[in-house]
Structure 1
């Protein structure tokens, strides 16, 4: 008897997408998200549609679903630390409201910071925190939240402008701090000493920060003042805070824990969770709130109705709309939508990277580079495209460094110019991309949409302008012969 031989299907040949296929994936993403956002459609669902399209492109290029799913699983695994930080922030916010940490900042900040100086104060406080700790996310989640709370209690203040000041202040430190992961990555991927990189980086960032501060000062001076006394709704808010919470320096311990952990480079998620647990204990034993309310605050956020259980005669209904909006927030559930969106975004980025679409899109740029200006222009475009596609500044810095290192040397330029350009356009760019991790994180924490705070990120725009001016004129451009290689000093 002849055995039937089972015919095996020939293996599909894998190839890179052509330019049309690679570009169409990006266009579909932008179009779907743009029009979907205008119609106020669900962001995770919109990105899901874009993922479906890029899966189709991957299939056309010979990749099976198993191939793509396996690769994206590794991609998501690498993003787990950032995603866990997002969830920890939800716990932290709920706990800090419960303990009175954020309310204390608001209570005293409203009385100390004037409406005319709120923008400068927001930028400066976030810049100091992020420079000392190296984390823009941590700066936004602590100093940023405190300043936004203070601003919300001020009737004549532009909340979107304060969010823009908080955002750029946080990015300032992320660009210049030797503790910042993006600063470290930019130096490592170009094989430069980190302090040489920071020194060269400061030539765009510091002048840009000064420009931003000047604009904030002008905006502050032109802000209408409420006069010598605080307005009635702000006074009502202060009365509510004073009745709801006890004030003591002990309430600031959760903040001290986060600052200490950031400075000493302890794991962010662990430190935030420890801070949240300490805040829970402060709310329970010092503020006198119920334990069940504290646990509820960790998941669903703090609610003024919780105060009614601990303060006789206190009525949340009498607190006023401003107090309710300001204090009823936080909790793990508030971050779940952001978590899901980031998860789906990594599917899109992972498949685009796996099938070679990113390489195809950027390959043409290198071929067009002929001058110093076009080299820096191409570098900036590459970084922006990589951040937009990958949703991550870190990925953009690594890939751009690898792609352009030799090109800068060929054209007689120090790779310090490359590392600076990468940070000029890469660090902070993700906060302008709605489907990126930062584009989800900052609006969630600051309570203001990207479209609202985008016009007020003056430092970011000044950095870009200065980068192009330097490229065109040769000012602050370091030639190759001045470069000091650190490769020989590596152990």
Structure 2
């Protein structure tokens, strides 16, 4: 019998679980036992899903198309990743990041540093709408400042990433925020207002935690000798000037004005090369080459060598390969019907707002774990459970809020997602090391679940409006609901 382009049937939950166990087994053996690159593990996982597809009589050409479609949907993140790599390299070589670190060390109180890093990154991400751009600019500088204060880098990374994802989740300029509102058929403003119910207390509690922990690490008095040594080393190896802060101002301003991220970040990289030639005296050809190869410096201060010898498009090539394999895996799973099978299973279980919240968030995490990107997770989170929201008469603003909590928020928590790999590569701290300090992310998840079971901010659609809007098991929920 010839294989078809469509599955003869959906995979059973036993088959879905077998694929999951196979995926986890391949990842564990490859990384922990054989110590192979994670890219090879994800590539091998393709064939586990393809094997299930063949069992379901789906032809290979159809599965390959699903794979390519999955990669296509995440290509914008790949392009942003490469341009940010170029920007980091040239901004370090041009003295832009060293100047930010130097002036930050001179004015910032060590005891409130973690709190300040969280707030600075939150404001930057809200203004620009990009967690990648925030981590690659303000985040890198915060890592240098925090390390010079003697604060553990995973903790600093936790504050940086927590702040960066405030805007990624909340900013009207963020692609994930706009995408979620569109997928859930909710007005963008209503989507953001709904998220504020969860994000406002999460931001407040996270701020207090970072402030308290900062005082805990530096409770009596901070040893400023390391800070002075770092500032002296920066002056020895770079020309430090307030004028070198202008490229950062230009990039953030343009992103705030909603200019496209890729050309704006590329412009920032060009300005970094100009600064490397004009201010730091680097050969102009070499200043341009740094955009690809990254910065290289030698200092007597070891942490500066670690922090500032990075960047360049070349440093992101392994990350790009990893993301492509992860996106392809997500496309395969969608094509084979694994996501739809899980959706039907959730429909039977999620019979109250608390369970519905958990199922939506699990759908998002599943998209990140197997699809490797926030885009995939938002699709799985919204499509797997949207029918249940309509059937239970729950406003779709609750769906969009929970989709962000399970999708966007969990992206940097998985080591092989675009967000997880980018943050680990850019900040120089592994995903599993910074994971315990993603306090904003954890608070959003916990508060969302509490709201679901406590019926807080779980708005209902009146039966009359549901009927007039045609909401039901077979209807599109495209009506603009009002809060009850």
Contact 1:94 1:329 in 2 (8 A): yes
1:226: Cα distance to partner?
8.3
Separation in structure 2 between the aligned mates of residue 148 and residue 173 of structure 1, nearest angstrom: 19
Separation in structure 1 between the aligned mates of residue 349 and residue 223 of structure 2, nearest angstrom: 61
Give the one of 193, 204, 209 matched to 1:199. Answer: 193
Q: Residue 312 of structure 2 aligns with which residue?
A: 331
Separation in structure 2 between the aligned mates of residue 209 and residue 386 of structure 1, nearest angstrom: 25
Q: Residue 355 of structure 1 aligns with which residue?
A: 336
Separation in structure 2 between the aligned mates of residue 121 and residue 319 of structure 1, nearest angstrom: 28
Separation in structure 2 between the aligned mates of residue 319 and residue 10 of structure 1, nearest angstrom: 67
- Secondary structure of 2:217's counterpart equals coil
Tell which deviates more after alignment, 222-231 or 189-198: 222-231
Separation in structure 2 between the aligned mates of residue 413 and residue 57 of structure 1, nearest angstrom: 35
Q: Residue 78 of structure 1 aligns with which residue?
A: 73
Give the one of 131, 140, 156 matched to 1:136. Answer: 131
Contact 2:368 2:410 in 1 (8 A): yes
Contact 1:91 1:298 in 2 (8 A): yes
Q: Deviations over 1:80-115 (max 9, x none)?
A: 221111111111111001110000011111222233
Q: Residue 294 of structure 1 aligns with which residue?
A: 287
Q: Residue 367 of structure 2 aligns with which residue?
A: 386
Question: Where does structure 1 lack aligned partners over 5 or more consecutive residues?
Answer: 1-8, 305-315
Q: Residue 182 of structure 1 aligns with which residue?
A: 176
2:400 is aligned with 1:419: yes
Q: How does 1:31-430 map to 2 (within 5 A)?
A: 31-39=25-33, 40-155=35-150, 157-224=151-218, 227=221, 230-231=224-225, 233-304=226-297, 316=298, 319-430=300-411
1:240: Cα distance to partner?
2.0
1:255: Cα distance to partner?
1.2
Tell which deviates more after alignment, 333-342 or 245-254: 245-254
1:250: Cα distance to partner?
2.7
Structure 1 residues 357 and 473, CA gap change in structure 2 (3 angstroms): same
Superposition RMSD on alpha carbons, in Å?
2.4
Separation in structure 2 between the aligned mates of residue 31 and residue 346 of structure 1, nearest angstrom: 19
Separation in structure 1 between the aligned mates of residue 7 and residue 177 of structure 2, nearest angstrom: 36
- Secondary structure of 2:462's counterpart equals helix
Separation in structure 2 between the aligned mates of residue 209 and residue 92 of structure 1, nearest angstrom: 29
- Secondary structure of 1:288's counterpart equals coil
Separation in structure 1 between the aligned mates of residue 11 and residue 387 of structure 2, nearest angstrom: 25
Q: Deviations over 1:306-362 (max 9, x none)?
A: xxxxxxxxxx4x633222222211111111110111111122111111111111122
1:27: Cα distance to partner?
2.0
Q: Residue 19 of structure 2 aligns with which residue?
A: 25
Separation in structure 2 between the aligned mates of residue 162 and residue 460 of structure 1, nearest angstrom: 15
Question: Where does structure 2 lack aligned partners over 5 or more consecutive residues?
Answer: 470-476
Q: Deviations over 1:67-90 (max 9, x none)?
A: 222332232223222111111111
1:391: Cα distance to partner?
1.9
TM-score, normalised with respect to structure 1: 0.89
Give the number of aligned pairs.
Answer: 468
Q: Deviations over 1:181-239 (max 9, x none)?
A: 222222222222211221121111110111111111111111136847621x4333222
1:11: Cα distance to partner?
5.0
Higher gyration radius (CA): 1
Separation in structure 2 between the aligned mates of residue 191 and residue 11 of structure 1, nearest angstrom: 36
Separation in structure 1 between the aligned mates of residue 52 and residue 262 of structure 2, nearest angstrom: 36
Separation in structure 2 between the aligned mates of residue 226 and residue 468 of structure 1, nearest angstrom: 38
Separation in structure 2 between the aligned mates of residue 374 and residue 221 of structure 1, nearest angstrom: 38
1:264: Cα distance to partner?
2.3
Contact 1:236 1:319 in 2 (8 A): no
Separation in structure 2 between the aligned mates of residue 396 and residue 462 of structure 1, nearest angstrom: 19
1:372: Cα distance to partner?
2.3
- Secondary structure of 1:161's counterpart equals helix
Separation in structure 2 between the aligned mates of residue 319 and residue 342 of structure 1, nearest angstrom: 36
Contact 2:95 2:244 in 1 (8 A): yes
1:402: Cα distance to partner?
3.6
Separation in structure 1 between the aligned mates of residue 253 and residue 42 of structure 2, nearest angstrom: 37
Separation in structure 1 between the aligned mates of residue 154 and residue 189 of structure 2, nearest angstrom: 34
Separation in structure 1 between the aligned mates of residue 18 and residue 215 of structure 2, nearest angstrom: 47
Tell which deviates more after alignment, 22-31 or 359-368: 22-31
Q: Deviations over 1:128-152 (max 9, x none)?
A: 0111111111111111111011112
- Secondary structure of 1:63's counterpart equals coil
